[in-house]
Structure 1
């Protein structure tokens, strides 16, 4: 690795001909070029359009702008997937910091300068940024939610989606090396989410520069469209169990609708048996009284009105440390006195602020522990 290269821009490309002019123009316009040594590493992964020719035309122009440029082409017709393409590009790079850039997106002029300044003091963090969608209004709810995440919610909301948009990632090389790279699979996979979860389990941090530094393009050929939603769900559930549910004795699920029942069915047997009740407000659902878990010997799980949460208190009768804690729900379906853990499964596209207002409207007893998964 060349110690004199400060930032490597990592650009995996597959059939990006329509976007490369705008991408490369945004790279040569970076203000950081005035004082940082920057290289561009391009990995053309089996493109069948005019990508190769566009790269050939642009390499000398990038070099004239002061950017060391490396271009590699996978021409054997056997793509290893997005994660593999990123790994190959990183392997060819030399910079202390890595700036990941999708071929169909556009850098704002100050992107590298702003993120480099933040990453200098956050050596073990993935540094992202705010972004704008193009065309305007594309996936509006998703973009609004992601751009609303703050220093705390960027961690607590990680089980809903990747909380730092992958096209904005910037990090020290050692972050990448410690994780060991992205998932290398031919089948489209949520490689960003898998990487981020492993990074956090290793004690890594997350930071978002509170400035729009990228134009995030939305179009029918986006790679993310090829990732099966079921695979994303499975990755999220497994991580949620590992980081949260495995450490809880018992918990309730808010919403006995589709999402709540799907979560229950997705859990390991050990964790699904920790679900002591569903909570809801829908009279039709409440009239069922119980939910029968057919996958667990027809175990009957009470369906309770949310006011059962409000009535709960956190005081417990004194007991010895070794005493077996009482069940949280009596045979009559009443909530026992004691602390409650709650998983809320409400509509996915509630933004961060709306979600907090929603929880506040429930007037839960202070100190009730909850986590949002949906």
Structure 2
């Protein structure tokens, strides 16, 4: 926590160019803002730090709370930059983040949502990781609030770890070496044991799932230089997945992904969260296009694992040329397998495509897997493991 009651120290800290800028977009955040801003004050980072707030047309008492905390924070040596607008309608999260970044001056950017709470060590530990990985997005583990909300998603956020990192060797173009060892192995002497990454192997392959970025946006930390190279955020407004689009562009430019394996953020789930404004169909379209851009051009043929609704939906969503690469569906459902094929009735081709449906043991990789993980009591995961395949080379997860 910042020292209080020392005016000389506070003035010296305020005069120094900040090393870290905490980026905080705000829109009608009154219920959570006091706890969020208290967590800024409680950071144990001893270097220079500023808070950059952008108020996106809030109609509640958010600005009153911000002005109150500005006095407290600056009294503890944390300068506060406040921007915003009072238009009738908000301009969206992407616009607000871009504005908060533009008015800030730190060498590193720590992103914070106004309904979340940072643990005291967040800035210190993520800065340590970012200094070692200047072209990476740094994330962290989270604690969900309420505790039982989105249990599967929270497990996915927190448990993509070293055993999965080992499914690929090297970093495939991100310019940094993989630092996680096998389970139980000693960590690299250059990396504290709580740092996992760069996640350039299997975690890169997990970027095609419906879960989105493999380190979630509210945990992001990166250098300003790297953000400027990749960004800015899309400013399309409500309904645009600005974090997913930025993350895809980050990967296109060879960026890495590193996770600090400590819970550094209280991540709230509530009905008013901005993420609920993004339609699943919008995210689906971006995911399919990214899959077609990044992976499928390199495969001469592939099998879709799941002859049910999600597998057929993926097939229908593919461009015509990519659909022709699908040599089969595979499944375990005897009724689907007995039918023998899937006919794409909406196709304009004549004759209409008829794609074989095979048992998974009779199908050949690579596979695009459209089966949701953690829902079959381990049956699907056991079937996949029994084939002794390598993630990223022989299969990738899409659902």
Contact 2:52 2:82 in 1 (8 A): yes
Aligned counterpart, 1:203: 254
**Match among 241, 252, 257 for residue 190 of structure 1:** 241
Aligned counterpart, 1:301: 355
Q: Secondary structure at the match of 2:356?
A: strand
Contact 1:84 1:184 in 2 (8 A): yes
**Cα offset for 1:283?**
1.3
Q: Secondary structure at the match of 2:133?
A: coil
Q: Structure 2-normalised TM-score? A: 0.81
Q: Structure 1-normalised TM-score? A: 0.87
Answering whether residue 272 of structure 2 is matched by residue 217 of structure 1, we say no
Answering whether residue 202 of structure 2 is matched by residue 153 of structure 1, we say yes
- After superposition, residues 1-374 of structure 1 pair within 5 angstroms as 4-32=17-45, 35-150=46-161, 151=199, 152-160=201-209, 161-294=212-345, 295-297=347-349, 298-309=352-363, 340-347=365-372, 357-361=382-386, 363=387, 369-374=394-399
Q: Deviations over 1:109-168 (max 9, x none)?
A: 000000001101111100000000011111011000111112443212111121111100
Q: Secondary structure at the match of 2:83?
A: strand
CA–CA separation in structure 2 for the residues paired with 1:148 and 1:128: 13
CA–CA separation in structure 1 for the residues paired with 2:123 and 2:152: 27
Contact 1:250 1:274 in 2 (8 A): yes
CA–CA separation in structure 1 for the residues paired with 2:390 and 2:231: 42
Q: Deviations over 1:231-284 (max 9, x none)?
A: 111111111111101211111111110110010011111111110111111111
**Cα offset for 1:5?**
1.2
From the superposition, tell whether residues 153 and 17 of structure 1 become closer, same or farther in structure 2 (CA, over 3 Å). Answer: same
From the superposition, tell whether residues 79 and 355 of structure 1 become closer, same or farther in structure 2 (CA, over 3 Å). Answer: farther
Aligned residues: 340
**Cα offset for 1:350?**
5.5
Q: Deviations over 1:349-372 (max 9, x none)?
A: 559x997545114x3578971111
Contact 1:145 1:349 in 2 (8 A): no
CA–CA separation in structure 2 for the residues paired with 1:287 and 1:52: 63
Contact 2:129 2:138 in 1 (8 A): yes
**Cα offset for 1:74?**
1.2
**Cα offset for 1:79?**
2.0
CA–CA separation in structure 1 for the residues paired with 2:72 and 2:16: 24
**Cα offset for 1:302?**
0.8
Q: Secondary structure at the match of 1:249?
A: coil
CA–CA separation in structure 1 for the residues paired with 2:389 and 2:276: 41
Q: Secondary structure at the match of 1:291?
A: strand
> Structure 2, unaligned stretches of length 5 or more?
1-14, 162-198
CA–CA separation in structure 1 for the residues paired with 2:72 and 2:389: 62
Aligned counterpart, 2:190: none
Contact 2:109 2:224 in 1 (8 A): yes
Q: Which has the larger radius of gyration?
A: 1
Contact 2:27 2:90 in 1 (8 A): no
> Structure 1, unaligned stretches of length 5 or more?
313-339
CA–CA separation in structure 2 for the residues paired with 1:73 and 1:187: 17
Q: What RMSD, in angstroms, separates the aligned Cα atoms of the two structures?
A: 2.0
**Cα offset for 1:38?**
0.3
